[in-house]
């Protein structure tokens, strides 16, 4: 599988990343620090958000989850051990998944 990535600024001192599979059209945001920069990156690429892959529960990684999920109806995947501290989780993962 060939993946495409898009790196963009978030929260003045952080980065967001989109990971896109051109074959299936699936696009994941790695974390969601805030919604507006993710939406701008999606608009610039023409990609549709299908997933948010959350690395951990800190606010600078989760602040945009609810707004993005509401707008794009995307799936939120998070670490099982931190799922209770992350909003709108649909699926959890553990080591090795």
Q: Which residue has 């892959």 as its token pair?
A: 53
The model's pLDDT over 45-67, given as tens digits with 9 standing for 90+, comes to 999 999 999 999 999 899 999 99
User: What is the SS3 assignment for 16?
Assistant: strand
pLDDT tens digit sequence for 5-26: 999 999 988 899 999 999 999 9
Nearest to 72 by CA among 96, 50, 55: 50
Q: What is residue 97's DSSP assignment?
A: -
pLDDT at 12: 86
d(CA 77, CA 52) in angstroms, rounded, equals: 6
Global pTM reads 0.95
Q: How far apart are CA 15 and CA 96, in angstroms?
A: 26
């Amino acid at each position: 599988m060939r993946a495409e990535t898009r790196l963009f600024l978030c929260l003045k001192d952080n980065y967001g990343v989109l990971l896109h599979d051109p074959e299936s059209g699936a696009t994941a945001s790695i974390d969601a620090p805030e919604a507006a920069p993710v939406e701008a990156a999606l608009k610039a690429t023409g990609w549709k958000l299908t997933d948010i892959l959350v690395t951990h529960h800190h606010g600078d990684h989760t602040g945009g989850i609810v707004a993005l999920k509401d707008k794009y109806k995307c799936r939120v995947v998070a670490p099982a051990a931190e799922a209770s501290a992350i909003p709108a989780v649909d699926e959890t993962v553990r080591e090795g998944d």
